[in-house]
Structure 1
Amino acid sequence: MWFAVNIYGNMYKMVSVDITGRHIISPTGDAPKGWKYCPDCVKNWPERSHHCPLCDVCVLKRDHHCFFAGYCVGYHNHRYYVAMVFYISVAAIYGNIFNFEFVRDVKGELGIWGILSFLLPHVGFLFGGDDFYVTGITMLTFIGFYCSSCFFGYLEFR
């Protein structure tokens, strides 16, 4: 419950904070030194501001567009993004460790057959090594590990 409250709380704060910098009074006319002109917003913006084509706004110190939250990460909400990612990572590790222990208790000792049926859950069911219950638990565990690895891979290569 602690992880869910922190993940969703930080996600809410991330999307509720104004990232556009509408409160900044921008100079009119030619863009002064250190400022740049955004033709989409028709306004001068400070340095390191970038226009997001998905949100259709200029974001101060734009880092990236987060597809998990569906919102841009910028100057005003970066700390909420980092906290959200931290709690997602810890919750994924926590859940996968305890789920793996449960699967090991249900399946017994993991030899070659156990590892193969863990990596390919349907193989154990097709060859009669596992019943429907054990196959379902193994599939859910595999999906949990797979989703966690995709999340960590997304963070690594973004």
Structure 2
Amino acid sequence: MSTTNVTDLWPDDIHADVLSPAMVLHAQVEALAKKSGGILRVDVRTDMNQEKIELSLDLIAPAVNDYRITLLKVWHDPDMVYPATVKSRGLLPAQARREEMPQIPLMAYPPHESSMPDERTAETQEEFIKVISDILRSGWVRSLIQSLIARSNEALAEKSKARTGNGAHPPDKSHN
């Protein structure tokens, strides 16, 4: 039997440059440092949790007493990086975020229900990148970033004033 007349039945999204969720998250480390002028950092943590790989992406403001908040968590099987389940406040509708959040740390437990409003499952790299992009561009993350940059700038200005004598400038002698 000849196979010359059989059509390629494989999906079009098969390619050799697929990245793992960890690699996609690690790429965000340098991207945020560049965009924030080094004022903010992100850290990717990896843990084994109940036979799952757990990745966390934490936003850090070094100038604000190393303030740290988890932006998202990702879970996948040790042997298969996709599908990957992503959990983040950034996936919640804006009203739900306002009612619940800021000071409560993101819970460190793997998802059990896919119907959770703050979870998405990505079957492929493309879906994973879309989910991560939606989170990092969400109003919640943008508000956090703006707030932490402002607080960092304030803290850095205070430190600078303390080093120069409370910001007092020497008298201007050009008008004497």
**What is the TM-score of this pair, normalised by structure 2?**
0.26
Q: Whose strand fraction is larger, Structure 1's or Structure 2's?
A: 2
Q: TM-score w.r.t. structure 1 length?
A: 0.29
